[in-house]
Homo-oligomer: A and B are copies of this chain.
């Protein structure tokens, strides 16, 4: 463990040269290596270091938000990202990058460099994302959610895991403020939008008490319903894609919460992309339907084929009982999946609104073409977001969800 200092390309190369397993992955010696800064997200510094034998992705926390150095931010977020990778890797396999090294003093992660992969958001905007990635994301959430839930683990293990991420306060605070609160407050300086055509729909959101009451219900579910370990920031910029190899990255927001949060956030980003690029509408709907069916299948497959059970579900005798199609267990599972869909719809609505008028907006809108088209895409996102939040409790199925977008 080293004392903290922000790394430069040069000091990072020195660091890697002194760690034999990392040095061997790069091959040769430090003089043969190149380091390239590729920081793309809002928060951290990222370098790709390449050598004769391979390359590494190195991610370090800064003591502030990278895109806003006046916003101080505890360094420990990298530790939570590493703990998230360690917590889900057995369940999700190669759907996340391999973690090679964690330096808890430098707040530095060294991991697999996905050099043939592209950020999904960019691939969507450019129209180069191959069809079918929704299935991989659905599987990812199904496997990670099952493996960290009360259905898979004795409650003692869930408590221990939850306590780790309960301390992820700085990034959970960002979610609570930026996603669950700010966009609905008139006086919040972190909101912004391209006026004046947006003024009216924004004012309507901020004056709509019925909407605020529905948002409060989602605040309560996000904070108090601990179904499983969430990724916590699963938008299309947190996914890397290369053909049918789909990887989820950037788990620094990980915290326990309702499973529908991750699913809803991801789906919201697909919907917003299709609003900005209307010719994407059909495949967007296909990917969403695929994502939901894959999530259900992955979750149920684990439930039906796992011999060890957690404390929830301990009364089910054996694997076979989970399989009987018409049993009370099937009815209970259906109820559970409806509840996940309610959450999915509500959190998708929150994500659409905050990515349109909140602090961290999305690049997809810039692909909408001329200014009237961009405004139209944003207005649609606000209207759909509001509708999803208000009607979440009545959206039971993916067909109903797609009717509302």
Point out residues on A near B: beta carbons under 8 Å.
150-151, 155-156, 158-159, 162-163, 166-167, 169, 172-173, 176, 180-181, 184-185, 209-210, 212-217, 219-220, 223-227, 311-316, 321, 327-329, 331-332, 335
Contacts and interface: CB of A to CB of B under 8 A. Distances in A.
Contact of A216 (B209, B315, B327): B315
24 contacts: A150-B219, A150-B220, A151-B220, A155-B173, A155-B223, A156-B173, A159-B166, A159-B167, A163-B163, A176-B311, A181-B311, A184-B315, A185-B315, A212-B315, A213-B328, A213-B332, A216-B315, A216-B332, A217-B332, A219-B313, A219-B314, A223-B312, A224-B225, A225-B226
Contact of A166 (B163, B176, B335): B163
Contacts of A166: 159, 162-163, 166
A223 B156 contact: no
A328 B212 contact: yes
A178 to B, nearest CB: 12
A329 B209 contact: yes
Most chain-B CB neighbours within 10 Å: which of A210, A224, A227, A311? A224
A327 B209 contact: yes
Contact of A329 (B155, B173, B213, B312): B213
B150 A169 contact: no
A310 to B, nearest CB: 9
Sorted nearest first, the 9 A-B pairs with minimum C-beta distance are A213-B328, A213-B332, A212-B315, A159-B166, A210-B328, A220-B312, A219-B312, A150-B223, A224-B226
Given A150-B224, A223-B312, A169 B180 contact: no
Contacts of A220: 150-151, 312
Contacts of A225: 224-226
Nearest to A256: B224
Contacts of A214: 328, 332
Contacts of A331: 213
A224 to B, nearest CB: 5
A240 B314 CA distance: 35
A226 B227 CA distance: 10
Given A217-B332, A220-B312, A225-B225, 19 more contacts: A155-B176, A158-B223, A163-B166, A166-B166, A176-B311, A181-B311, A209-B328, A209-B329, A212-B328, A213-B329, A213-B331, A213-B332, A216-B316, A216-B332, A217-B335, A219-B311, A223-B312, A224-B226, A225-B226
Given A150-B224, A209-B329, A224-B150, A172 B155 contact: yes
A216 B185 CA distance: 39
Contacts of A162: 166
